A and B are shown apart, each in its own frame.
Chain A
């Protein structure tokens, strides 16, 4: 069984559209994250939630809005998509400090 699952795996959409990426973890972890990986493979933290509460909100356009209905889910909604939003988005979870993260397999978003 997949520990951290993201859907969809691929997303191709036009500029200006609104899209959502879903993430679920079945590990019982308290903290979930969204990372963006650009074309040069650089990973940047976007958001962090602990038990449904927003902990980290890095400098991300407010077109990006995370939603955590419960501690097992952290979805990412993106409004008015732009070409520069094209990237791979990774969801991850962790139990607590000094533990490794478990990553999902990523969502490759292509904005055309």
Chain B
């Protein structure tokens, strides 16, 4: 069954704005990961946050994890048109990643 649920399903912003995507999950996890998928391409790993971590940064990306609420957020700062893609959260609890439905992000120039 599906583990993660992203919110919103779609997000449209202007270049330079920040984009925030949220993910909720149902069971205990070892870690939570975020991936990006450009149209017609494979998924690219962005960032991994372990269950004992609360926040992690990578370049313009900031991920938070609240295990008490079983939720995570991905913040992309100073967005660019090239950030246009689908973003998925994935949880590692059962020996393989279980993905949410994703958030489609559109960044307009």
Contact = CB atoms under 8 A, between A and B. Distances in A.
Interface residues of B, number: 24
A97 B92 contact: yes
Contacts, number: 56
For A35, A42, A100, A102, the residue with the greatest tally of chain B CB atoms inside 10 Å of its CB is A100
Nearest to B92: A97
Contacts of B64: none
Interface in A68-112: 90, 92, 97-106
B48 A90 contact: no
B45 A101 contact: yes
B49 to A, nearest CB: 10
B26 to A, nearest CB: 16
Contact of B45 (A100, A104, A106): A100
Query: How many of chain A's residues touch chain B, expressed as a range?
Result: 20 to 34
Contacts of A100: 33, 45, 48
Contacts of A44: 99
Nearest to A100: B45
Contacts of A102: 45
Contact of B42 (A33, A48, A90, A99): A90
B42 A106 contact: yes
Which of A44, A98, A101 counts the most chain B CB atoms within 10 A?
A: A101
Interface in A23-60: 33, 35, 40-45, 48, 55-56
A55 B42 contact: no
B54 interface: no
Contacts of B98: 45
A38 to B, nearest CB: 10
Those 5 A-B pairs whose CB atoms lie nearest each other, nearest first: A100-B45, A103-B42, A43-B99, A103-B43, A105-B42
